[in-house]
A and B are shown apart, each in its own frame.
Chain A
């Protein structure tokens, strides 16, 4: 089996070009095969507590790992998600989705197997390397691999198409969390926690799922359009020209959208991780730990649903307008959160957070189509990969804003119920910055458009690779 870029092997682009009669509706499930698997990352925390008892079993022994040490596994993985999507974006785009999805499957399953080995010899560095580095690379490659393919299959509804795939990333945790708990229950005993075996089973299951996705996926022939497709009316914010991946970095549009995504993600990620503690502290006696866990589950559902709903909506109201809605609504809702706390309105608080978290998910799923509108379809996957560094940055800003400001307020005798108010107003302020940046997004200057000679060179290279 030829895995190289040249030749006519199973991985080559020519082997993935759809034959007449292929239904484009086979492509979203192919993308979901990958995204549902790598979405497990959101549920990795279910392993944290069991992994603090690998030696002590019933309770942590002195040589057992600490939660703070285990927290780095997820952080390293998210860091490598951003790095790998930026570094491998062009390779993913040019090599085609099948090769990228299969590579992601190997890295993802390999990461779990290496981590299982790390658990068996009780070496945390091996897990950092396995799940953190290798798994993180799988996250980056797997996340961007189906994006441009879906956009090319659904030129009439790019938001909906990418929204479906990225919804899978949000939904992956729903499957992984109960499945992992069930597996650990099956493999665990009075003398054994069962994490190692669970990792091995997950590696096998995820590998099969992701390989099925890579088998199903197809790219459309050049210049293919769906039946009855009518190109959108002349719109300055929907480009008909392509921009080369590294030229996109030279445009103000890329960095403006980077800031918009970073703001939206910072605001969402900050509350997503702290929703349980925040809700209990803002409504002491009203929201119990069990109810708070329910709120987190409900937020996860809105996170997933928002990915599909907002991205689909953007096909009708436009990408820039969708982000205007996020920024304005986000500003209003974050200003309202402290008021709901003061008024003791649990329903108001929950409603605010559910809408905020739906927009957090919607921000992720709408951005590939926004990039398509700005930079064309040719390198949208690679440009999307570069943009995901905004996610990595937000992963630091969000929790820092929420945790440290709360800590500062509590240390300065602010009642716990009001300790989050400053953060909420800061988040609202961030949305103002995001609004301004989104407002400044205009059509990309023609000097950045790919010239005919480059496009021809590109096409020749693609033909040679096929």
Chain B
């Protein structure tokens, strides 16, 4: 249960958990960034 994930949590679980929230967030940020670029056009 320390910072390492050798016993319980696997790297795959970490990747899946972060991907589950990270992918939609990155997509949303990208969409917003496209919108924000209009400020400089």
Interface residues of A (CB under 8 A from B): 18-26, 29-30, 32-33, 36, 168, 171, 173-178, 209, 212, 216, 220-221, 224, 226-227, 290-291, 293-295, 297-298, 300-301, 304, 350
B25: contacting residue among A23, A36, A212, A293, CB under 8 A: A36
Of the candidates B1, B29, B32, B39, the one whose C-beta lies within 8 Å of that of A220 is B1
B8-37 contacts to A, CB under 8 A, are 8-9, 13-14, 17-18, 20-22, 24-25, 27-29, 31-33, 35-37
- Residues A290 and B38 in contact, CB atoms below 8 Å apart: yes
Assuming the contacts A18-B1, A23-B5, asked whether A294 and B25 have C-beta atoms less than 8 A apart, the reply is: no
- Name the residue of chain A whose CB is nearest to the CB of B30: A174
- Can you sample 15 A-B contacts with CB below 8 Å? A22-B8, A23-B5, A24-B3, A26-B14, A32-B25, A174-B29, A174-B31, A177-B32, A227-B3, A294-B36, A294-B39, A294-B41, A301-B33, A301-B36, A304-B29
Instruction: Enumerate chain B residues within 8 angstroms of A300, measured Cβ to Cβ.
Output: 32
B interface residue numbers (CB < 8 A to A): 1-9, 13-14, 17-18, 20-22, 24-25, 27-29, 31-33, 35-41
Q: Contact: A20 with B36, CB < 8 Å?
A: no
Least CB separation from A181: chain B residue: B31
CB-based nearest B residue for A32: B21
Q: Are B5 and A178 in contact (CB under 8 A)?
A: no
Contacts of A174 in B (CB 8 A): 25, 28-29, 31-32
Complex Cα–Cα for A173 and B31 (A): 11
> Closest A-chain residue to B35, C-beta based?
A297
Q: Given contacts A23-B3, A227-B4, could you give 11 more A-B pairs where the C-beta distance is less than 8 Å? A: A20-B7, A21-B5, A21-B7, A26-B14, A29-B18, A32-B25, A174-B28, A295-B39, A298-B36, A300-B32, A301-B36
Nearest first, the 6 A-B pairs at minimum CB distance are: A21-B8, A21-B7, A174-B28, A294-B39, A294-B38, A227-B2
Query: What residues on A are CB-neighbors of B1 within 8 Å?
Result: 18-24, 220-221, 224
The answer to whether B35 touches A293 (Cβ under 8 A) is yes
Residue pair A21, B9 in contact (C-beta under 8 Å): yes
Instruction: Given A23-B5, A23-B8, A25-B14, decide whether A175 and B24 contact each other with a Cβ distance below 8 A.
Output: yes
Contact in complex: A212, B9 (CB < 8 Å): no
Determine how close the nearest CB of chain B comes to the CB of A301; give it in whole angstroms.
6
Identify the interface centre among A36, A176, A220, A224: most chain B CB within 10 Å of its CB: A36
Q: Which residues of B contact A226 (CB under 8 A)?
A: 2-3
Q: Which residues of B contact A23 (CB under 8 A)?
A: 1, 3-5, 8-9, 14
- Known: A21-B1, A297-B36. Is A212-B29 also a contact (CB below 8 A)? no
- By a CB distance below 8 angstroms, the chain A residues around B4 are 23, 227
Distance between A172 CB and nearest chain B CB, rounded to angstroms: 8
A258 and B3 alpha carbons, distance in the complex (Å): 34
Closest to A291 in B: B39
> Of the candidates A21, A32, A212, A301, which one forms a contact with B32 in the assembled complex, judged by CB atoms under 8 Å apart?
A301
Asked whether, in the complex, the Cβ of A212 is within 8 Å of the Cβ of B27, the reply is no
With contacts A21-B1, A175-B24, A291-B39 taken as known, whether A29 is within 8 angstroms of B31 at the C-beta atoms is: no
Chain A residues whose C-beta falls within 8 Å of the C-beta of B13 in the assembled complex: 26
- Contact indicator B31/A36 (Cβ below 8 Å): no
Contact at B38–A175, with CB atoms within 8 Å? no
Bound-state Cα–Cα, A155 to B37, Å: 39
Whether A291 and B41, one on each chain, are in contact in the complex, defined by CB atoms closer than 8 angstroms, is yes
Cβ–Cβ < 8 Å partners of B35 in chain A: 293-294, 297
A413 to chain B, nearest CB (A): 31
Closest Cβ neighbor of B17 among chain A residues: A29
CB of B1, distance to nearest CB on chain A (Å): 5
Alpha-carbon distance between A26 and B14 when the two chains are bound, in angstroms: 6
Q: In the complex, which residues of chain B have a beta carbon less than 8 angstroms from the beta carbon of A19?
A: 1, 8
On chain B, the residues within 8 Å of A216 by CB distance are 17
| A171 B25 Cβ-Cβ under 8 A | yes
A26 to B29, CA, bound (A): 22
Partner of B39, one of A25, A36, A209, A350: A350
- Collect the chain B residues with CB atoms within 8 Å of residue A212's CB: 20
**A297 CA to B25 CA in the complex, in Å?**
15
CA distance A158 to B2 in the complex (A): 16
| A89, chain B: closest CB distance, angstroms | 25
Give A300 Cβ to nearest chain B Cβ, in Å. Answer: 6
Among candidates B2, B9, B14, B21, residue contacting A36 with C-beta atoms closer than 8 Å: B21
